[in-house]
Amino acid sequence: MYDQTLHWLDYVVIGLSLLVSLYIGNHFAKKQTSTNNYYAAGGSIPSWAVGLSIMATLISSVTFLAYPGEGFSDNWLLLVQGIMVVLVLIGFVWFVVPLYRKVIGISAYEYFEKRFGFLARLYSSLAFAFAHGAKMGTVFFLMGLALASLTGINTLVIIWVVGLAVIFITLRGGIEGVIWLDVIQGFLLIGGGLLAVGIIVFSIDGGIIHLFDVAIKHKRISFAPYAWDFTRLTFFVMVFNGLFYGIQKYGTDQTIVQRYLTAKSAKEAERASLIGLFVSLPVWTLFMFIGTALFVYYKATPELLPANISSDAVFPYFIMTQIPVGLTGLIISALMAASISSLDSDLNCLSAIVVEDYYIRFKKNATDQQKLKFGKGVIVVFGFISLLVATLYVHLGSEGILGIIFGLYAIFSGGIAGIFILGTLSKRANKQGLYIAIVVTILFTAYAVLTSKDFNGVILLDLGRWNFPHHEYMIGVYSHLIILVVGYLASFLFPSAEVHEDLTVYAWWDRRKKANKKNK
């Protein structure tokens, strides 16, 4: 794709970055002697490290490449989701963190079973596995595609080399190795982004002031369209999507909930959550701004940009053609780090829920060492499955990577945030009512997915005017609302059913008031 190749110094920087990652993963191997250490680090990680790990987990190669692509081709509409996540977390972090640290062992979905029974746990953990399993293959593919275009190395070679490294790091280092590697990679990611912004800004005549003048003139720094229209991607579609995404991510997602357990105390875990989120939003903004800055840069120098280049490829092209030797390797290492920090977390957490939600249920007398051995096997299996998915992407092609990620969330979310809201906010909701809601949600999701255009623009089940009329991002929103409304109303059909009020926010609030009175 490019006329020049990487300098040998850049290859050295990239190689050293990968070797450091492998060393850190292997460094913590001796501590992985129990499932508590392997999945929760024995509750020994400081809050700032957990917070940076949360940030690194939320940031992947999707952020590193697709956000600049969106910023280059359009405005900042997709950033609305991140803003909503901040608002959501501020509202409920004080409840959800101590709830999980008190109620669960390792799996977030243990709460769902205690509140609504095994079917709720099965449904929610499978939704997590499907969503993150699909995401991993996409992240591997996007990372491989980008690195291949930058280095000239075959895409499949990159995917499998980095993929095997991710499996090794996760397998050996456990969650402790994952978290400390995330810390290093988080700094590398932020540093790479800031370095790119600095070079772009200093390359624009008139600097930062001219950049903002041009961006504002062309309506690049905005969240439009603001129309109340759910049939297309609008501000309000992203508001609702972000609202439920935030609840689902911080209230039900194993990759985040598991990190609550690695902190030294509930207060430390709350602090870590806020650190992670308040670092993530600036990073999302940083990479969206990179795209806007590239728009201004290439608008002034259109002769420097090849014709018909895709928006997702603009940032890699700039890295390859305008970044000095050595620094190019550093930014490419940041891209690779963004992928590794997301993927190693997914693998460890997928292993945790398979062991906790399924293995020990069918092998109740399993020793801790048997659980640990089985969990490591799960990491290997899921790792290779995700690499095979990425390989399929290479052969079949892919368009609109960021849209795929958001679409996968909407389709596979399955109303999990709705279950969490129902369980924590309702004293009436019971498992019978929830099970009816789950059936209705599955039927709705099947209808909406089949009658909407897939990622190739094809409708699998064309019902004409009865097709799902709204944007695909709304599928997840509606599924949460269906669970919430149907689950609550259907619970009235079973007035004598058991309700675990001790697992609601009201019980938590009563306990907190009593504790405050006792301390006075």
Query: What's the whole-number average pLDDT of the chain?
Result: 88
Query: Is this prediction's pTM over 0.85?
Result: yes
Q: Of 342, 386, 73, which Cα lies nearest the Cα of 233?
A: 73
Lowest-confidence region among 72-76, 334-338, 418-422, 453-457: 453-457
156, 394 in Cβ contact below 8 A?
yes
pLDDT over threshold 50, residue 52: yes
Task: Go through the chain and tell me how many residues it has.
Answer: 520
What pLDDT, on the 0 to 100 scale, is given for residue 393?
A: 79
Lowest-confidence region among 268-272, 288-292, 338-342: 338-342
pLDDT, tens digit (0-9, with 9 covering 90-100), for 444-501:
988 988 888 765 567 878 898 999 999 888 988 999 999 999 999 999 999 988 888 8
b/e map 215-253, b = 16+ CB within 10 Å: beeeebeebeeeeeebeebbbebbbbbbbbbbbbbbbbb
**Phi, psi (rounded to 5 degrees) for 459:** -95, 120
What pLDDT, on the 0 to 100 scale, is given for residue 150?
A: 83
pLDDT, tens digit (0-9, with 9 covering 90-100), for 199-228:
999 999 999 999 999 999 999 999 999 999
What pLDDT, on the 0 to 100 scale, is given for residue 73?
A: 93
CA 455 to chain centre: 20
CA distance 150 to 6: 8
- pLDDT grade for 408, boundaries at 50, 70 and 90: low
The identity of residue 492, as a single letter, is F
> Could you tell me which CATH class the domain 8-74+124-222+270-397 is placed in?
mainly alpha
CA distance 87 to 70: 23
pLDDT over threshold 80, residue 518: no
**Phi, psi (rounded to 5 degrees) for 428:** -90, -35
Q: 437: how many CB neighbours lie within 10 A of its CB?
A: 26
Q: Which residues contact 20 (CB under 8 A, 6 or more apart)?
A: 184
CB-side exposure of 284: number of CA atoms within 13 Å? 21
What pLDDT, on the 0 to 100 scale, is given for residue 380?
A: 96
301, 80 in Cβ contact below 8 A?
no
Q: Strand, coil or helix: what is 459? A: strand
Provide the residue ranges of all domains of the chain, joining segments of one domain with +.
8-74+124-222+270-397, 414-520
What pLDDT, on the 0 to 100 scale, is given for residue 400?
A: 47
pLDDT, tens digit (0-9, with 9 covering 90-100), for 25-50:
899 998 899 999 999 999 999 999 99
Q: DSSP characters for 362-397?
A: H-TT--HHHHHHHHHHHHHHHHHHHHHHHHHHHHH-
CA distance 127 to 398: 23
CA distance 492 to 263: 40
What does the pLDDT average to over 80-91?
A: 88
What pLDDT, on the 0 to 100 scale, is given for residue 402?
A: 46
- pLDDT grade for 188, boundaries at 50, 70 and 90: confident
CA 184 to chain centre: 18
CA distance 82 to 285: 9
